[in-house]
Structure 1
Amino acid sequence: MSFDTASAVAARRADLLLTGGTVMTPNGAERIDVACANGRIVALGDLRLDWSAESTLDITGLHVLPGVIDSQVHFREPGLTHKEDLESGTRGAVLGGVTSVFEMPNTHPLTLWQADLQAKLDAARGRAWCDYAFYIGGSAVNAEQLDSLENLPGCAGVKVFMGSSFGDLLADEDEVLRRILRHGRRRLAVHAEDEARLRERKALVEASGDVRQHHHWRDVKSALRATQRIIGLAAETGRRLHVLHVTTADEIALLAQHKRRVTVEVTPHHLTMHAPDCYERLGSFAQMNPPVREKHHQDALWQAIRDGVVDVIGSDHAPHTREEKARPYPQSPSGMTGVQTLLPLLLDHVNAGRLSLQRLVDLTSAGPARIFGIEGKGRIALGFDADLTLVDLAAQRCIRNDWIASRSGWTPYDGMAITGWPIHTVVRGQVVVRDEELQGTPRGQTSRFLEAPVLA
């Protein structure tokens, strides 16, 4: 605890005092107050008589969650800022109750080297509304340097694309993957689709031009084959894995056998939409990689959440403009907005009885902090960062395109009625969203990691 924070505790004076809410602590839901000073949580309990504060927020009727961490977003900066940038992406994040993000390396230029990472950190400073870190791409060109690159301040870890990428970022050969896996200790995040099979099968959709064939082109075998390969290579090299956006019942059955070293992410769109309905309604605006699949695969993902196989829910926020998405399939790009709707969708699933609030906290806060080793985040406890997401479980809202902060300006959930909504967002003790409205100026900082050097 810093001197300033210790002084605040001794004086029983907070920068921000939250009173009257239900707080989701490691003990479960508790009717307690929360005091924040110098960016951290300094007291929990019945504080109204003994504590004073510069600002007090009466949150009667609301639930206080640990700040939501979205560990997979594509904010497109640098190089693709016509569809998203770090300011608009993080603005959408906090409006949706997200307090930290991990951003992906498939920008222009690719994030492969220290200079690429530093350029993103420089671009985020003074412009990001929430805290942030950036992945380094694992590649044939930097494999031997990854053990030092992954420990740079501001690096969320290494991300490998086994498919659905381009140039130096595509790592689809076993020998390249072995080199990447052997150089580093932190958990390796992977997009597992088999590139060779995708190339072999692309003629199917080039001939039909029918987006309803998207999940048949990028079929179950393409996902399962890649996941089997990377699990085997990771076991051979002794590396921990994090398999992103898992979509199939077949992969879930496999991953359940490897949980000691492999963690699992699923996404809100795979939990909320299913084929063929989504393609009938949305066309290429439902197009994602890996694809949205049939209902029985979605059911398997929900069962995996109930069974504890899933560790994280990330949005895979990957915006494109409406004009780009409206191109004839398969020239239309894969990807959709998601960071701003991640929590509203999950709260709606809570209200529908598919997900408990405690499990939501584990999947979006405690889980990401635990498996990535994020310092000071992921739980409401003394000494932790005062990152807090305050939600009204009974609030009824309708998701609309005009609510979306992304520069792309659309969501596949336009018109969807939701029960449960983020009301206030607090990042390190600063209220950045109050009563659903943005407050102040961007104050996001670089996230710190337990296995990496920290910024001075």
Structure 2
Amino acid sequence: MMRISGDTTVDLVLIGKALIEGSFLEAAVAIDDGVIVGISKPSLAPNSVSRVEFGEKFLLLPGMVDIHVHMREPGLEYKEDWGSGSRAAVKGGVTMVVDMPNNVPPANNCSVLQEKLQRASARSLVDFAFYAGFNPLVEELERCRGLFVGFKLYPEDLYSPGARNVFSYASRYGLPVVVHAENPSLFRESKLHSDARPPEAEESAVKHALMLSRESNAWLHVTHLSTSGALMSVLEAKVTPGGRVTFDVTPHHCLLSDELYRGEKRGIAVVNPPLRPEGERASIYTSLRNMLPDAIVTDHAPHRIEEKTSEKPSPGFPGLETALHLLFREILEGRLGLEVLELYSRRPARLLGVKKGVLGEGFEGDVVVVSKEEWVVRGEDFESKAKYSPFEGWRLPTKTYAVYIRGEPVYIAGQFMTSKGGRLAVPRG
């Protein structure tokens, strides 16, 4: 453990059972000027302006980092906005999000990215970053390069002639190209959503994206990977010299199968890529158990309930308020190791180059306190505007009790302590 000098007075000391280097230890986390300045035994904690001790039923974690969310604002605020979405993040123990560019109009130019910055700065409780959307004239983004941490390509973008321009630009600056890998030419008509967008559509698109990445020497990040075939292609590419390939998975692709499309949750559960048959689900879950992904993401994608229960349900559902506690369910019931929490904290932060996701000296003072307290997932209780979940009715063993962002209390015992406070998270390399 680290220790700072005994005559120092810091802003805040949090004491309790803390996740330090992969294990829970009784520790004092000292935070000053928004940064963790020391970890010590409680008896060696420095003097502090504020000191909070948490008892046996509490666990101290680094803030989670979700690199794939849809806050919807600007343009789709009726689905979600930075206020409601960031409250959902806080309630789920997430202290930083990276927002996708499918706004209205899309965030593929400096004007919309600047507007997103202004809106998020005014309303978000959590720190944030943005991806830029597909723009075949990608050089137009040069003057606002500091406003985005990578590019996001959707299926139709990936097969556009302009995709090569995006990969080349990303290669020049070391930015990731985040790809939703599905080949639209392989979609088909079917009443079953998982059959309409079959596994081979994902597998084909992954191979195409890998080809573009190799051609340009660009960093490819495959998001919400959902099939065993695509997984094998990505893993092979990861161990092949010369290129950089990373990928993430979601809790829903790990824990839910397409059996939901045959039941009463079929509209709620519609998501792209789809939930897969049990064999595919098991493969993705096994990759998670073996710590193969580079990150876990929620793909938090809120819609109005009317959009989810229509004849053609909108794809996606909220996930920020459940992901951390779904992981704890798997950990506490012995199916996953404690290290899996790194995929939702340390590792995505490292991908972005931000000093978050770790309870350690020099990292930002983002701390989440969870209580060992059972609760039942009920969409009506969500902070998100989307009051539903494919995990409706699941019993989860932990609950978010407190959240500190850069040492400032944001959420304590069910109460939000502020109405804003997030800021643009700038990668440090």
Which of 242, 247, 256 matches 1:264? 247
Q: Kindly indicate whether residue 422 of structure 2 is the aligned counterpart of residue 448 of structure 1.
A: no
- The one-letter code of the counterpart of 1:320 is H
Q: Relative to structure 2, which stretch is displaced further, 40-49 or 184-193?
A: 40-49
Which of 60, 65, 82 matches 1:64? 60
Q: Supply the distance in 2 between the matched residues of 1:296 and 1:149 (Cα, whole angstroms).
A: 47
User: What residue ranges of structure 1 are gaps of 5+ in the alignment?
Assistant: 1-7, 164-169, 452-456
Which of 250, 257, 274 matches 1:274? 257
> 1:167 is matched with which residue?
none
CA contact (8 A) 2:226 2:253 kept: yes
Which of 181, 185, 188 matches 1:192? 181
Deviation at 1:420, TM superposition (A): 2.1
- The one-letter code of the counterpart of 1:129 is L
> 2:368 is matched with which residue?
389
Q: Kindly indicate whether residue 127 of structure 2 is the aligned counterpart of residue 131 of structure 1.
A: yes
CA contact (8 A) 1:9 1:43 kept: no
Alignment of 1:45-444 (within 5 A): 45-48=40-43, 51-61=46-56, 62-140=58-136, 142-145=137-140, 148=142, 151-152=145-146, 154-163=147-156, 170-173=157-160, 175-184=161-170, 185-198=174-187, 201=188, 204-205=189-190, 210=191, 213-260=192-239, 261-328=244-311, 331-360=312-341, 362-374=342-354, 376-392=355-371, 394-444=372-422
Q: Supply the distance in 2 between the matched residues of 1:96 and 1:293 (Cα, whole angstroms).
A: 25
Deviation at 1:145, TM superposition (A): 4.0
**SS of aligned partner of 1:286:** coil
Q: CA distance change for structure 1 residues 257 and 131 in 2, over 3 Å: closer, same or farther?
A: same
Deviation at 1:9, TM superposition (A): 6.4
> 1:44 is matched with which residue?
39
Q: Supply the distance in 1 between the matched residues of 2:314 and 2:252 (Cα, whole angstroms).
A: 16
CA contact (8 A) 1:187 1:372 kept: no
CA displacement 1:407-441 (0-9 Å, x = unmatched): 22222222221112222111110111112332223
Q: Supply the distance in 1 between the matched residues of 2:325 and 2:369 (Cα, whole angstroms).
A: 12
- Aligned identity (percent) is 30
Deviation at 1:160, TM superposition (A): 1.0
**SS of aligned partner of 1:196:** helix
Quote the RMSD (CA, aligned, Å). Answer: 1.8
Q: Relative to structure 2, which stretch is displaced further, 394-403 or 92-101?
A: 394-403
- The one-letter code of the counterpart of 1:231 is L
Q: CA distance change for structure 1 residues 312 and 149 in 2, over 3 Å: closer, same or farther?
A: farther
Q: CA distance change for structure 1 residues 111 and 10 in 2, over 3 Å: closer, same or farther?
A: farther
Deviation at 1:27, TM superposition (A): 5.5
> TM-score with structure 1 length normalisation?
0.87
CA contact (8 A) 1:113 1:149 kept: no
> 1:14 is matched with which residue?
10
**SS of aligned partner of 1:363:** helix
Q: CA distance change for structure 1 residues 149 and 23 in 2, over 3 Å: closer, same or farther?
A: farther
> 1:5 is matched with which residue?
none
Q: Supply the distance in 2 between the matched residues of 1:11 and 1:227 (Cα, whole angstroms).
A: 56
CA contact (8 A) 2:82 2:124 kept: yes
- The one-letter code of the counterpart of 1:179 is N
Q: Supply the distance in 2 between the matched residues of 1:219 and 1:425 (Cα, whole angstroms).
A: 40
- The one-letter code of the counterpart of 1:370 is R
Q: Supply the distance in 2 between the matched residues of 1:278 and 1:366 (Cα, whole angstroms).
A: 34
CA contact (8 A) 1:95 1:438 kept: no
Q: Supply the distance in 2 between the matched residues of 1:84 and 1:295 (Cα, whole angstroms).
A: 31
How many aligned positions are there? 418
User: What residue ranges of structure 2 are gaps of 5+ in the alignment?
Assistant: none
Q: CA distance change for structure 1 residues 49 and 220 in 2, over 3 Å: closer, same or farther?
A: closer
Q: Relative to structure 2, which stretch is displaced further, 90-99 or 274-283?
A: 274-283
Q: Supply the distance in 1 between the matched residues of 2:200 and 2:144 (Cα, whole angstroms).
A: 31
CA contact (8 A) 2:268 2:317 kept: yes
Q: Supply the distance in 1 between the matched residues of 2:43 and 2:377 (Cα, whole angstroms).
A: 36
Deviation at 1:278, TM superposition (A): 5.0
CA displacement 1:263-311 (0-9 Å, x = unmatched): 1110011112111245413021100000001111111112212333211
Q: Relative to structure 2, which stretch is displaced further, 318-327 or 26-35?
A: 26-35
> TM-score with structure 2 length normalisation?
0.93
CA displacement 1:107-155 (0-9 Å, x = unmatched): 0110011111110010012311110111101232x33445x36731x42
